[in-house]
């Protein structure tokens, strides 16, 4: 049986690791927050002192951390995964479930391959509720052979496994998905403010859009906050959203694509972060935009 490691036990990672344990896999976890590791130990996991220990002892290590910079630190920082795997002669597979920059993912994959370590991207699609129930999407960039080995473990936390191509394609597709989602958030926010200025309430707006071709799952959770003030309906922070759309704009620049929309959306989220609203959730962008025009949507 594969020996699983997990680094990054946040809102999504904690549920994913729990589901891997529930599927019967031995699991060793590491996270800077000791309480998150202790919660898994109570379910039967083991705790690791650092990433290097997981690189030494595990055959597959999942990463679910905030940024590409964190991924690089976990792999190549002090007591990193690479050092642990190399010291043990371990042909480790690292599965990066973070929303990362594809250019960084490909560069790391090439470098790690020189040390006999395989890097796979398996970006996440879904919500914390789906993470808890084991019904996330795994958006994978990997060789066919490596995916065949990983698939039984991925199935512990993913209801759907989507193979996009070679390494880096999973992260690329996740960023394209985030481009759409964060753009919807920006468009909904500005549309509500324009409507409010013109005398259209959020309730009237919703009565026209809901059930139309412009309706969607994203729209419904966004408007569950707008209409009902339910912050738990759409738990994705503006800090994470801003990072993701910034990565989209950077990818477009690296590919020499003139992406005016991506940069405009990135600028809107960046302005919300600059005023200290990073801990708010994406639907709260609607309040931020409205407040800039001396309006309240609720």
Catalytic residues: 174
Cβ(75)–Cβ(5) below 8 Å: no
Q: Which of 127, 126, 163 is nearest to 144 (CA)?
A: 163
Alpha helix segments (H runs only) across 134-237:
144-154, 169-197, 202-209, 217-228
Three-state DSSP at 49 gives coil
- The sign one gets for the Cα dihedral 222, 223, 225, 226 is positive
Distance CA 29, CA 223 (A): 37
Contacts of residue 9, defined as CB under 8 A and 6 or more positions apart, other chains included, come to 17, 29, 31, 33, 36, 37, 39, 40, 64
Contacts of residue 14, defined as CB under 8 A and 6 or more positions apart, other chains included, come to 36, 39, 40
Burial class of 48 by CB neighbour count within 10 A (0 to 12, 13 to 18, 19+): buried
């Amino acid at each position: 049986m594969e020996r699983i490691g997990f680094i990054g036990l946040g809102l999504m990672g904690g549920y994913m690791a729990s589901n891997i344990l529930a599927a019967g896999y031995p699991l060793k976890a590491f996270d800077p927050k000791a309480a998150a590791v202790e919660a898994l130990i109570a379910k039967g996991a083991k705790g690791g002192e650092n990433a290097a220990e997981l690189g030494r002892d595990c055959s597959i290590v999942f990463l679910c951390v905030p940024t590409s910079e964190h991924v690089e630190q976990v792999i190549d920082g002090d007591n990193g995964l690479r050092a642990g795997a190399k010291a043990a002669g371990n042909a480790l597979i690292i599965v990066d479930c973070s929303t990362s920059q594809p250019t960084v993912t490909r560069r790391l994959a090439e470098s790690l391959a020189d040390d006999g370590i395989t890097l796979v991207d398996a970006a996440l699609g879904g919500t914390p509720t789906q993470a808890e129930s084991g019904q996330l999407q795994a958006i994978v960039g990997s060789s066919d052979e490596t995916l065949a080995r990983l698939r039984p473990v991925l199935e512990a936390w993913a209801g759907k496994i989507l193979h996009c191509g070679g390494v880096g394609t999973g992260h690329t597709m996740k960023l394209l998905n985030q481009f759409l989602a964060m753009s919807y958030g920006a468009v909904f926010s500005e549309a509500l403010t324009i409507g409010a200025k013109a005398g259209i309430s959020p309730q009237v707006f919703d009565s026209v859009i809901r059930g139309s071709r412009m309706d969607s799952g994203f729209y419904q959770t966004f408007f569950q906050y707008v209409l009902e003030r339910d912050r738990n309906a759409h738990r994705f922070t503006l800090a994470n959203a801003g990072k993701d759309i910034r990565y989209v704009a950077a990818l477009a620049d690296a590919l020499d694509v003139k992406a005016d929309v991506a940069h405009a959306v990135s600028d809107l989220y960046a302005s919300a972060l600059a005023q200290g609203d990073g801990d708010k959730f994406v639907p709260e962008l609607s309040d931020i935009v409205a407040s800039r025009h001396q309006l309240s949507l609720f």
